[in-house]
Amino acid sequence: MALGKSLTPTFTFDHVDLGPMTGIITPDNVVQFRAIPYATLPGRFKQSILLETLSATNRDFTQPGFATPHTAGQDIFSGGPFPGQIIPTPMDEFKSLILQINVPLVCLQDGTSKLSKLPVMVYVHGGGFVLGKVDAQHNTAYMVEQSILDSQPVIGVSLQYRLGALGFMHTPDGGRNFGFYDQRNALLWIQKFIGGFGGNSAQVTAFGESAGGMSICYHMLAPPPPSGPLFKRVILMSGVIASTLTPAPIPEANSLYEKLVQAIGIEERGEAALEKLRGLEVQKIVDASSKISNEGDMWSFVEDETWFGKEKVTWDRISELIGRCEWIDEIMLGNTGFEGLMFTANVNALTPKNFSKSVSDQLGPKNASLIMDAYNITPDMDQNLFSNTAFRWIGDTVFDGPAHALSRHLTTKTTKKVYRYIFDIRNPFPNHPLYQQAHHWVDVYFVFKVHQFRYPTQFLKNISTKHAQLWIDFANGKTPWSEYKYDDGKEAVIMVADERDGWVERSVAEDERMNERSWKRCEVLWEAWKGVEGKQFSPLKIEPLAKAKMV
């Protein structure tokens, strides 16, 4: 099936292991190879198999590929479709385990003799493990172009993986974590073949936003494959594993399987139901998967001894276990200015009274009091004022808190270098429901440089360009800005992007004074949660949020 014809010039390259490959030149100094398959699927709810050859593959990599089946979000939220974008995005369950690779043209013009051994930047998309794809909005080509302009060229790669129930359901025959094993196969493929494009497999930086960053964390919790580490540096963009997304116990995962079977109306149970599921039209599974997500359940990692060994992975051990990862020495991580704003449905379900009571029921009056004091919550406070605070609480719980805990642990208990940032630039798209807010994922609209044509000011374009440059510096092994060190207290240095100064280094004290931000709230949360250390625990599992959608 042709997914649209490209009018841009093409370039054919003879990969030393894979043979001839034709991509498109876009922009003028970058070759983009689209929809390269990295694995095959032997069947639904089965683990993917690493593709070792492209011998049976069409050598035309100039067309967009299929997305993995999922309930797609609205492209209007990012300013509308891109020129030439196909809507709706074609999806195919068995043809969607693909990569997109962007390579400096000069690197390929004489084989790999020029600019060989380039650093590689691999992007893992977010979307709460239920949506996302390789598309124009996550295109690394303009980052690669920027790296060439700055004389520190890189290769950019993006990958897809299975989503929702198709990617994360635990099945009665023992199948689980299909999407994460897909990611591992993609990273293995990159290790095996990126050298033929001129890349350095020992200089891979994995970067991901939200679920993409959490995915990278999960790969850091697993031992590297026999062939060696899958990446060397990481950038976690609002993406450190939160208490809400630690590995689900098998009984909990089994209950999600039962919910899906019931939602579809299958009478059989166990493996008999699984066979029925494998024979269904894929859209029925996607619809049922979305229904379960909309009712407050999450599709994510399931306990897996093959992945973790005998380690018990609970919310309070995430920082410690990531700190043990011996093959990562440098970590960049950060958050947006107001992460919690994406949880409107959750906040609308809360009042000062039901929140206070629910947290007290969950943690006990003493620990609940710690949280109420930290967030200045009283049962009779104004609802508007409370809602603003509730957004902060959810953002701290899911995004800011885990990042702060990891930064604190890594800089006080390990020798790893940590570079911390806050992206406090507001959404520039008037038709977006979070217009003029520095919400979760707003940084994705800037780092790739692909949205610059629709920014209203040159200042925002400069923010976007600098964003890409800092990420490229890090991938090239440079120090992007001063290290963050928790023990420096209020004088600890972070990088902040805001609409007053652009990208600027500030002390924690300066940032708190200017923006009334405080990570001390996050530390209070961890203190209040001490009674549930070593247990599966989700702070958002309180009665008012029992059925609230999380993604």
253-295 pLDDT, tens per residue?
999 999 999 999 999 999 999 999 999 999 999 999 999 999 9
pLDDT at 445 over 50: yes
pLDDT at 342 over 60: yes
pLDDT at 133 over 90: yes
Q: The tokens 């509308």 sit on which residue?
A: 80
Confidence of residue 80 (pLDDT cuts 50, 70, 90): confident
Query: Pick from 240, 264, 294: which residue ends a domain?
Result: 294
pTM of structure:
0.96
Range name among 71-80, 106-115, 127-136 with the lowest pLDDT average: 106-115
Percent of the chain with pLDDT over 70: 97
Residues in CB range of 262: below 8 A, 6 or more apart: none
Confidence of residue 2 (pLDDT cuts 50, 70, 90): very low
Q: What is the mean pLDDT of the chain?
A: 95
> For residue 111, what pLDDT is reported?
61
290 and 322: one domain? no
Question: Mean pLDDT, to the nearest integer, of 400-409?
Answer: 98
Domain count, the chain: 2
Secondary structure, 3-state, 457-505: CHHHHHHHHHHHHHHHHHHCCCCCCCCCCHHHHHHCEEEEEECCCEEEE
Under DSSP, the state recorded for 521 is H
Q: Distance between CA atoms of 354 and 360, rounded to whole angstroms?
A: 10
Q: Distance between CA atoms of 282 and 260, rounded to whole angstroms?
A: 13
Query: Pick from 294, 327, 355: which residue ends a domain?
Result: 294
Asked if residue 2 belongs to a domain, the reply is: no
> For residue 3, what pLDDT is reported?
42
363 and 429: one domain? yes
93 and 169: one domain? yes
> For residue 11, what pLDDT is reported?
96
124 and 175: one domain? yes
State which residues form the domain around 434.
310-545
> For residue 113, what pLDDT is reported?
47
pLDDT at 95 over 60: yes
Q: Distance between CA atoms of 291 and 311, rounded to whole angstroms?
A: 32
Asked if residue 133 belongs to a domain, the reply is: yes
Asked if residue 223 belongs to a domain, the reply is: no
pLDDT at 227 over 80: yes
Side-chain-side CA neighbours of 214 within 13 Å: the count stands at: 22
Q: Distance between CA atoms of 219 and 356, rounded to whole angstroms?
A: 37
pLDDT at 175 over 70: yes
Contact 440, 341 (CB under 8 A): yes
Percent of the chain with pLDDT over 90: 90
Question: Mean pLDDT, to the nearest integer, of 49-58?
Answer: 90
267 and 412: one domain? no
CATH of the domain at 485: 3.40.50.1820
> For residue 76, what pLDDT is reported?
66
> For residue 4, what pLDDT is reported?
42
441 and 370: one domain? yes
pLDDT at 532 over 90: yes
pLDDT at 46 over 60: yes
Q: What distance lies between CA 82 and its chain's CA centroid?
A: 22
Asked if residue 82 belongs to a domain, the reply is: yes
pLDDT at 246 over 70: yes
> For residue 110, what pLDDT is reported?
73
Question: Mean pLDDT, to the nearest integer, of 150-179?
Answer: 98
Residue 72 CB-density burial (10 A; 0-12 exposed, 13-18 middle, 19+ buried): middle
Higher pLDDT, 110 or 108: 108
